[in-house]
């Protein structure tokens, strides 16, 4: 692995924690050169890494077709490319892979490299199983958000070697006609704490007790599929096999029965709390802490307890 490129994730112009960990992780393999590809504006002057990095910023644009991505492909030709799973990063990595005719592995949970061979642990069946893959030819990797960075330590910051900008240009006529960012809430895929509710809440107007608890914790809100199907909550909150997959430190499930399709989206959570008035609810078998009780009673009490601290 002589040359490595990382598609970075940033927060307010700085690398996010996962990208910093990824930089330390790839440093283990002693690369000679590292390119950091940053989407959008940034003010990176130094980053924690074993070798000075070259930063390539991608200007705002769709980056959604080969003609746009080919300039980036030229810049990272021959590099081993890493990114941490997000909608945009997976889209870019797959287009890059086809431009470069490179093999790509997505959903990587752990990764080793020795004597030119990658040993890859890929999580499959929404985290229910793991597949060990070996490949000497794969060169693009999309790592899961809960990738195992356990044995990496942050490296001292080094000044950035060079910075350049790739300006978005595309032969296609694609254009954004409206942007609708979700504002005012914590983004679910990145949230460390999640309060999720299901059909047991009975009515969308009852979500105030869920939101109050989430606010008291500083948590994101989520829901089960029937809840978003009924339009009680927006689709981007739907967690499960056919929705968002989350792996927070804490997942509190309120009035959710624990169907296997729901569990598939949450079994990466570190601690699971289940609150349900049916002691037989299947979710209790997959809980770290369970409370048999009515959400209308329990949730406000938990909120009050948190506020009293």
Ligand X SMILES: Cc1cc2nc3c(=O)[nH]c(=O)nc-3n(C[C@H](O)[C@H](O)[C@H](O)COP(=O)(O)OP(=O)(O)OC[C@H]3O[C@@H](n4cnc5c(N)ncnc54)[C@H](O)[C@@H]3O)c2cc1C
Q: Which is nearer to another protein, 20 or 262 (CB)?
A: 262
Could you say which of ligand X, another protein, none residue 262 binds, taking C-beta under 5 to 8 angstroms by partner kind?
ligand X
265: partner contacted, choices ligand X, another protein, none (Cβ within 5-8 A by kind): ligand X
Counting residues that bind ligand X (by CB under 6 A) gives 25
CB of 221 closer than 8 Å to CB of 210: yes
Angstrom distance (rounded) from CA 82 to CA 152 = 16
Classify 279 in phi/psi space as left (phi over 0), alpha (psi -120 to 50) or beta.
alpha
Of the two residues 44 and 292, which places its CB atom closer to another protein in the complex? 292
Q: Which of residues 154-193 bind another protein (CB under 8 A)?
A: 172-182, 187, 189, 192-193
Q: Does 278 bind another protein (CB under 8 A)?
A: no
* Beta-sheet pairing, 53-58 with 162-166: parallel
Q: Are the CB atoms for 160 and 53 separated by under 8 Å?
A: yes
- Select the binding partner of residue 5 from another protein, ligand X, none (C-beta < 5 to 8 A, by kind): none
Q: Tell which positions 13-52 bind another protein, by CB under 8 A.
A: none
Cβ(207)–Cβ(197) under 8 Å?
yes
- 55 exposed, middle or buried (CB, 10 Å; 0-12, 13-18, 19+)? buried
- Minimum distance of another protein from residue 244's CB (angstroms): 10
Contacts with another protein in 101-120 (CB under 8 A)? 103-107, 119
Q: Rounded CA gap, 67 and 95, in Å?
A: 10
User: Closest CB to ligand X belongs to which residue?
Assistant: 240
Q: What residues from 208 to 237 belong to the interface with ligand X (CB under 6 A)?
A: 224-227
* Selected range binding ligand X among 47-55, 65-73, 154-162, 255-263, rule: CB under 6 A: 255-263
For another protein, which stretch binds (CB under 8 A), given 20-28, 44-52, 126-134, 204-212? Answer: 126-134
Q: Which is nearer to ligand X, 60 or 294 (CB)?
A: 294
Report the residue from 261, 270, 305, 307 that binds ligand X according to the rule CB under 6 A: 261
For residues 158, 142, 109, 34, the Cα torsion angle rounded to the nearest 10 degrees is -20
Structure tokens at 13: 């112009």
CB of 158 to another protein, least distance (A): 28
Q: Which stretch binds ligand X (CB under 6 A): 11-19, 115-123, 127-135, 197-205?
A: 197-205
Partner whose footprint covers residue 126, from ligand X, another protein, none (CB < 5 to 8 Å by kind): another protein
As a whole number of angstroms, the distance between CA 280 and CA 257 comes to: 9
Residues in region 205-264 near another protein by CB under 8 A = 217, 235-236, 241-242, 249-250, 260-261, 264
Task: State yes or no: residue 278 binds ligand X (CB under 6 A).
Answer: yes
End-to-end CA distance of the chain: 51
Give the CA angle between residues 236, 238, 240 to the nearest 5°.
130
Angle at CA of residue 141, ends 168 and 72, nearest 5° = 20
The CA distance from 108 to 147, in Å, is 7
User: Where do contacts with ligand X occur on this chain (CB under 6 A)?
Assistant: 198-200, 224-227, 240-243, 255-257, 259, 261-262, 265, 276-278, 281, 294-296
């Amino acid at each position: 692995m002589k040359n490595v490129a990382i598609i970075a994730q940033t927060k307010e112009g700085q690398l996010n924690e996962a990208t910093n960990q990824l930089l330390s992780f790839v440093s283990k393999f002693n690369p000679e050169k590292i390119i950091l590809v940053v989407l959008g504006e940034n003010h990176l002057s130094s980053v924690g890494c074993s070798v000075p990095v070259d930063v390539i910023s991608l200007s705002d644009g769709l980056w959604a077709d080969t003609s746009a991505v080919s300039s980036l492909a030229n810049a990272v030709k021959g590099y081993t490319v890493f990114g941490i799973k997000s909608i945009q990063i997976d889209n870019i990595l797959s287009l890059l892979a086809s431009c470069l005719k490179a093999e790509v592995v997505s959903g990587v949970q752990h990764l080793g490299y020795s004597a030119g061979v990658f040993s890859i642990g890929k999580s499959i069946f929404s985290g229910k199983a793991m597949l060990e893959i070996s490949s000497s030819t794969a060169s693009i990797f999309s790592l899961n958000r809960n990738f195992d960075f356990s044995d990496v330590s942050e490296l001292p910051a080094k000044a950035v070697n060079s910075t350049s900008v790739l300006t978005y240009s595309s032969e296609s006529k694609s254009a954004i006609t409206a942007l609708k960012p979700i504002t005012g809430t914590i983004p679910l895929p990145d949230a460390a704490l999640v309060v999720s509710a299901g059909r047991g809440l009975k009515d969308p107007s009852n979500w105030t007790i869920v939101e109050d608890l989430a606010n008291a914790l500083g948590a994101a809100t989520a829901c089960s599929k029937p809840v978003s199907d009924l339009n009680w909550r927006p689709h981007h909150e739907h967690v499960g096999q056919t929705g968002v997959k989350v792996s927070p430190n804490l997942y509190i499930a309120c009035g959710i029965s624990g169907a296997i399709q729901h569990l598939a989206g949450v079994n990466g959570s570190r601690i699971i709390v289940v609150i349900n008035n049916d002691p037989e609810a299947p979710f209790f078998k997959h809980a770290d802490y369970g409370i048999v009780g009515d959400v209308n009673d329990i949730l406000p009490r938990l909120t009050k307890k948190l506020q009293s601290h």
